[in-house]
Amino acid sequence: MRGFRIAWRLGIIGGGAALLLILVWWLRRPTVAAAEAELRAGNLAVAETIANRLVLRDSKDLSAWKLLGRIREERRDLPGAAAAYRSAADLNSALSDVRLREAMCWLQSARLEDCERALRAVLATKPDDETAQTELQWLLFNQLRSRELETFLEGILERNPANFRVLYHLLQSNQRPPNPRETVGKMEQVQQMHPGQPSIELALGRCYWKLGEPQRARPLLESAQRQLPNNLEAAFTWAEFNFEADDVPAAQAALDRVAAAGQADDRWWWLSGRLQNYRGEVSAAIQSLTRATELRGREIAYRTTLATWLHTTGQVDAAREQHERVQQMRQADQQLYIIVSRGDLERPHQRLYAKLATLCTVLERPIQADGWRRLSAVSP
């Protein structure tokens, strides 16, 4: 009996010790509050350890992922912060502010493709987020992606036609397009910090090409189009680069590879026409260039070249019509350039809006013309 009492007492003591251990473990369990306290105290390594334990324990802990992003951002682990913010935003697509933090961390890490993906994710759920719009605008501008930039900004106008900010930037980028000499340094820095991004290779290759360094451009453009086999921008750039280098078969192969999707794009017909004309197939070239002009009549280069080819084949009246149209468009383009260069957009008024609407109409920019016309109608 005495042994039973001793064993019973030992059991009580052992059970109490176990309960005490459980209580201590519970009190020391990682919590968001504990991590935040360490963060406020400046104990970033401890805070990150706690936050890591939280997300390991529950991968769907939204608060923990956001906190981990903040801590890593404080520690200047920007790729790690971006990854944490991405995990948080993936749990709730409505968290556009978190996705935007992700984009900014990628941007500072020179991972521009990840930044663009995050910005587009923000705009997919919040299309009128002005910060995301502006950041994406500058990404496209600095990568010489003028056509994509114009399409992006005009897409915003389709939802909000009288948006002065967007109309302003469209006019600025149309009349003062990105300069390869100003862009090349930025792209070289990005390439050095995070090499291998095909969109950056494409931009840097285009810079070198336009600056008269084709030997530096070729490996970059070739790598970009190989990594982006379905990207029309990469294919058209590679085709034009090879055409100017007198490698017609390579240019034709680049167009053939994207023919299925490319024929909906005016640039496919423009380049096809140039290749046909090079081979002496003038009638086919005129047909191709006519199609390019139908798809995108605002391109003055298309109409100028078409007028020349028409005149060469004896189609004098048709050539004269194109030439007159080119003269009208060039005059309008020159007037817009003067307006932008003179700084008139910094002092907008009703008459200026009306004039911009007229000039954009002449230049076959209907979405922009409509926006300026709407502003003119509501301005004093």
- For the entire predicted model, the pTM comes to 0.88
* pLDDT of amino acid 28: 54
- pLDDT at residue 251 above 50? yes
For 276-310, what is each residue's pLDDT tens digit?
A: 999 999 999 999 999 999 999 999 999 999 999 99
Q: How far is CA 11 from CA 2, 5, 16, 18, in A?
A: 14, 10, 8, 10
In a domain, 248, yes or no: yes
Share of the chain above pLDDT 70, in %: 93
How much is the average pLDDT of 89-95? 91
Residue where a domain terminates, one of 213, 229, 254: 254
* pLDDT of amino acid 20: 42
- pLDDT at residue 4 above 90? no
For 24-35, what is each residue's pLDDT tens digit?
A: 333 357 898 998
In a domain, 14, yes or no: no
In a domain, 268, yes or no: no
Q: How far is CA 167 from CA 72, 253, 316, 320, 363, in A?
A: 38, 38, 38, 33, 15
Residue where a domain terminates, one of 200, 232, 254: 254
In a domain, 375, yes or no: no
Share of the chain above pLDDT 90, in %: 88
How much is the average pLDDT of 247-257? 97
For 154-198, what is each residue's pLDDT tens digit?
A: 999 999 999 999 999 999 999 999 999 999 999 999 999 999 999
Provide the number of structural domains found in the chain: 2
In a domain, 237, yes or no: yes
- pLDDT at residue 2 above 70? no
For 120-149, what is each residue's pLDDT tens digit?
A: 999 999 999 999 999 999 999 999 999 999
Q: What is the CATH number of the domain that holds 96?
A: 1.25.40.10
Contacts 24+ apart (CB under 8 A), 306-312: 309/277, 309/282, 309/285, 310/286, 312/282
Contacts 24+ apart (CB under 8 A), 144-153: 144/178, 144/180, 144/183, 144/203, 144/206, 144/207, 145/203, 145/233, 146/173, 146/177, 146/178, 147/233, 148/233, 149/173, 150/174
Q: How many angstroms separate the first and last alpha carbons of the chain?
A: 105
How much is the average pLDDT of 84-91? 96
Where is pLDDT greater, at 320 or 95? 320
Q: Say if residues 201 and 223 touch (Cβ distance below 8 Å).
A: yes
Residue where a domain terminates, one of 103, 125, 150: 103
In a domain, 311, yes or no: no
Return the HEC string of 156-201: HHHHCCCCHHHHHHHHHHHHCCCCHHHHHHHHHHHHHHCCCCHHHH
Mean residue pLDDT of the chain comes to 92
144/133 Cα distance (integer angstroms): 17
* pLDDT of amino acid 11: 47
Q: What is the CATH number of the domain that holds 222?
A: 1.25.40
In a domain, 134, yes or no: no
* pLDDT of amino acid 265: 97
Domain that holds residue 195: 180-254
- pLDDT at residue 208 above 50? yes
In a domain, 272, yes or no: no
How much is the average pLDDT of 326-355? 97
How much is the average pLDDT of 43-70? 93
